[in-house]
Amino acid sequence: MDMRDVAAKAESKVRRRILLALAFGLFVCAAFIAVPAAGWMFFNTARIEERQPSTVAIPEKGLVVLEPNDWIGGRFPLLKHIEIDTDLAAGHWKVLLVQPDCADCRGAVRDLADEMRRSGPSAVRWAVVSLSSGPLPEDFGRLNAACRVGRLDAHHDWFAQTPLEIEIDNAVVESARQL
């Protein structure tokens, strides 16, 4: 074996080591990019799935039976059906759904009016929404100016067990409970 062969072998070993080092470096760089990207995609996908739009389909007209426990985690499906002077899709709201001819509903409205009068300004914004398109009861006039009052549209016959409190945050239903 002459010196040229020894030098060629040594050069070949050096090239192999350099290529292995480059391959290892590329693998490490890819891992530093891929692992955080996969984690970001996993956690953001989970968050998006938690807040999917409501799958509740409301027909164009006719009878609609409201099942608010099915709405939790989804978009509040009544937003485009409520006739009210404010945007319930923005911010944090508690919506009280009532029937004007329901004694329990009138009691809930009176209790809310009394509570609002006692506690003064609150971080909680309230909206009282009638399921009926008829005239609103006089009890609704007892609510202070901070409480918004509206009704569901007249294109439907709305039915729910009332009074019903629905808490929404940026149009997403967080909770629903019958009072």
Higher pLDDT, 133 or 7: 133
For residue 40, the SS3 value is: helix
Beta-sheet pairing, 82-83 with 148-152: antiparallel
| 120-152: burial string, b at 16+ Cβ within 10 Å, e else | eeeeebbbbbbbbeeebbebbeebeeebbbbbb
pLDDT digits (tens, 9 = 90+) for 47-58: 444 444 555 677
Higher pLDDT, 141 or 108: 108
The pTM for the full model equals: 0.66
pLDDT digits (tens, 9 = 90+) for 111-134: 888 888 887 666 678 899 999 877
